[in-house]
Amino acid sequence: MKFEKYRISNDIKKNLARLGFVRPTDIQFKAIPSILRGEDVLAVAQTGTGKTAAFAIPIIDRIHSGKRSSRSSGIKCIVMVPTRELASQIGEVFNQLSKNTKVKAFALYGGVEQDEQIKRLQGGIDILITTPGRMFDLINQKHISLDYIEVLVLDEADYMLELGFIEDIKYVKKMVRKRHQTLFFSATISDKIKKLAYSQVKSSAIRIQISPKDPVSKNVFHYVMFVGMDDKRFFLERFIKDNPTSKIIVFVRTKVRAQRVAKAMERVGIPSLDIHGDKEQHKRIDVMKKFRVGQCNLLIATDISARGINVVDIEYVINYDLPIKTENYVHRVGRTGRGVNKGVAISFCSNEELELLDEIQSFLKKEIEAIKINKKDYSTVIDSVKYDTDWKSLIEKY
């Protein structure tokens, strides 16, 4: 079924066509009809499968159809997210999909001055995409009212739970007095997530689960290189120089590590961008803009950014350091292979990280292929390989 067949506004259909959205993804196909009917939804789907559009399209249509003019009479929908990057990214999706409609969406998050944000709120908005901290600040200052909320979306709920936002979620639910629809979206599912979800949605909620046995998109090819901790920078240098036009994101464990790797690349003439929690918000926004438009094709990031980066043409994700939490592997590698695109995830594994690799493989329920490497010149057998190549013929056990 194509989007043009859906019972949604023609303005939204035009936006979808302009963005190149022809057919819904699995999560969109299953979630949109239920959301349009006003049902509570608990959805679990891999990262990169189009979750944001799955709830953005029907929410925008519902609000657009119910308005006589573009003037806003109060916030009708709140989308709660765990990080600033996610708020910014999801806000961009809402604004793209609501172009030329009566709907006004706004992303609210900390790390930037409040004055401009307050002006936007006072001008009237329909959909608020927000992180809990800044939202509660402005609720307490009487700049945000929850009196007219019709839809509450909890996105990346597993990460919100991990960051300790469960009490914030419960508090918002109590504050929203009007009968409303609750949409609960998560990339992973666990007993804690189930308990939280069913405490927030109606008993009649529709449960949607996409590819529950495989937490990572099938469009991502996974490989591991067994590399000494002190040799990682040399392999990274060689890999980047062998793939000079590819968009690459490198994940490291700490902000200090991000800065050190960026400086190491700078010393060998490789320009890079880095993003981490200590970087000021306006600088983080600038970094992502440069990376997205291709002004620089190498981004070095910590896990704080793993869920907030939605750049469609990332070809490679390199785990320079293996993540301490196995779930973070899923969110890191989910930055590539998004939608119909294919991507490659390569993990650098030192002897000290072998246990972490075992945990990741147990989580994935499969062994990750090892790349044959040449320690003399830091080359690999997958140099400059394209996705239509027979990968298995190039891979040998290390």
* Domain stop point among 209, 235, 268: 209
- 258 and 156 fall within a common domain: no
Rounded Cα distance between 56 and 3, Å, is 14
- 257 and 354 fall within a common domain: yes
Query: pTM, whole model, 2 decimals?
Result: 0.73
Rounded Cα distance between 80 and 160, Å, is 9
CATH number of the domain enclosing 192:
3.40.50.300
- 124 and 228 fall within a common domain: no
Rounded Cα distance between 261 and 274, Å, is 9
**CA 239, 324, 310, 370 torsion-angle sign:** positive
- 194 and 148 fall within a common domain: yes
Contact 183, 54 (CB under 8 A): no
- 10 and 150 fall within a common domain: yes
Count structural domains, the chain. Answer: 2
Task: Walk along the chain (398 residues) and give the pLDDT tens digit of each residue.
Answer: 789 889 999 999 999 999 988 899 889 999 999 999 999 999 988 777 789 999 999 999 999 999 888 888 899 999 999 888 889 889 999 999 999 999 999 999 988 889 999 999 999 999 999 999 999 999 999 999 999 999 999 998 888 887 788 888 888 888 887 789 999 998 777 788 788 888 878 888 899 988 655 667 778 889 999 988 998 999 999 899 988 899 999 999 999 999 999 999 999 999 999 988 778 878 888 888 899 899 999 999 998 766 667 787 899 999 999 999 888 898 889 888 876 778 899 999 999 999 999 999 998 888 998 887 766 666 654 443 334 444 334 333 33
215 occurs within a structural domain: no
- 236 and 192 fall within a common domain: no
- 153 and 292 fall within a common domain: no
- 321 and 200 fall within a common domain: no
- 143 and 288 fall within a common domain: no
Rounded Cα distance between 292 and 143, Å, is 33
72 occurs within a structural domain: yes
- 187 and 232 fall within a common domain: no
Domain that holds residue 253: 220-394
Rounded Cα distance between 36 and 349, Å, is 46
